[in-house]
Amino acid sequence: MKVIVKCPEVLRYVAFAAVLIVCMAPVVSAPVALVLGFGFSFLLGHPAPHLNQKAINWLLKASVVGLGFGINATGALAAGKQGFELTLYSVLVTLVLGALIGRFLHLAPKVSHLIASGTAICGGSAIAALAPVLRVNEKEMSVSLGTVFLLNAAALLVFPVLGHWLHLSQFQFGLWSAIAIHDTSSVVGAASAYGAEALEVATTVKLARALWIVPVAFVSSFAFRTGNRQVQLPWFIGLFVAAVLFNSFVPGVAALGEQVVWLSKAGLTVTLFLVGAGLSVDKIKAAGWRPLLLGLMLWVLVAAVSLWGILLL
C-alpha cells in the first residue's frame, strides 16, 4: 500500500516519536494505541519498518516482566491452577481441529499447523518458535504470521466490548482473554482495559499457556519428521515469575511496584502502537482468504468453547 500523504523523512520520524510519546499517557487505551499505529502507518508510512518487530519483541518482554511487580504470588498461583485445565483442552482441541479444517480448505499442512499453534498457544511467538523446528519457507511463515496478526488485532478491539456486554467478572474476563486471544500483547492490552484483577489473571494464565510452545514443538518435530527438536525457551517468563516473587516476599519492593507497573503499562500501550504501525493493507491481501478463514474459524471456536467452560466454573 502506497503512502497517501507525502512528507520529509525527518518530519515523519518526529511525528512518529510524538504520537508514540502521546501513547504513554494514561488517557490512551491499548485499543486506541493500536488504531493510532495503523492510522499513522496508513497515512504517512512507518519511518523504520525494519526495526518495528525487534522493538515490539523487546518492549513487550520488558513490559510483561514489569507487570509482575504488581501481582501477588498467592493470587497468581490460584489463577494458574484454574486456568491449567482449560488451557490443556484448548491447546489439544485447537491443534486437532486446525489439521482437519486445514485439510478441508486444501492448505499446506505446515501452514495449518502454524496457524493452529499460534491460535492455541501465543500467536506470533509460537509461530516464530515453531518455524525453525518445522523448517518452513518464508511464504509459509509470512502467511501464518499475517493471519494470526490480523485476528489478534481484532481481538484486542472486540473482546473488552464483548466482556462488558456479557457482564463477565474481572476474573472471568482475564481467564477468557488469556485462553482465547493470540498474542501476549493483545491479551494484556485487552485485560488492562477491563480492570486490574483481569490484568493479573490474564497475564499469569497467558504466560503459563506460552510454555506449551516447548512440548508442541517437540511433538511437531516427530509429526512432520524434520528431526529438528530445538526450540527457544520463553526466558522472559522466568523473569516475570521472579518479579512476582520479589513483589510478594521481599520487603520494600512492593513500595516501588506501583511506579514499575505504571511504566510497564505505558510500555505495553506503546507496544500496541507499534503493532498497529506494522499492520498494512498489503499484509491483509497477502494472507489470502483460506488461511484467514482457518484462523477465524479456530479463533471463534476457541473463544466460544472456552467462554462456555469459564461460565461453568
pLDDT digits (tens, 9 = 90+) for 192-207: 889 888 988 888 888 7
- pLDDT for position 234: 62
DSSP H or E run through 62? helix 49-67
Residues 101-142: pLDDT tens digits?
A: 999 998 888 889 989 988 888 877 777 777 777 777 767 777
Q: What is the pLDDT of residue 177?
A: 93
DSSP-assigned letter for residue 3:
-
Rg (CA), the chain: 19
Rounded alpha-carbon distances, angstroms, from residue 31 to 3, 66, 158, 185:
23, 20, 9, 11
Distance, in Å, from the CA atom of 214 to the CA atom of 230, rounded to the nearest integer, reads 9
Model confidence pLDDT, tens digit, residues 134-193: 777 767 777 777 788 788 888 888 999 999 999 999 999 999 999 999 888 889 888 988
- pLDDT of 44 > 70? The answer is yes
Contacts of 7 (CB under 8 A, 6+ apart): 15, 44
Give per-residue pLDDT as tens, 213-239: 778 877 887 777 655 555 555 667 778
Q: So what's the pLDDT on residue 82?
A: 67
Q: Which residues contact 238 (CB under 8 A, 6 or more apart)?
A: none
Cβ 80 vs Cβ 296: under 8 Å: no
Q: Residue 74: how many CB atoms within 10 A of its CB?
A: 10
Closest CA to 33 of 281, 272, 210: 272
Distance CA 260, CA 262 (A): 5
Helical (H) or strand (E) element with 187 = helix 184-194
Determine phi and psi for 181, rounding to 5 degrees: -100, 145
pLDDT category at 297 given cuts 50, 70, 90 is very high
Rounded to 10 degrees, what is the CA torsion of 206, 212, 213, 216?
A: -150
pLDDT at 285: 66
Least confident interval from 33-42, 130-139, 302-311 = 130-139
pLDDT at 172: 93
Q: Among residues 3, 279, 234, which one has the least CA distance to residue 129? A: 234
Return d(Cα 183, Cα 213) in angstroms, integer. 13
- CA 146 to CA 100: how far, in whole Å? 21
Q: What is the mean pLDDT of the chain?
A: 82
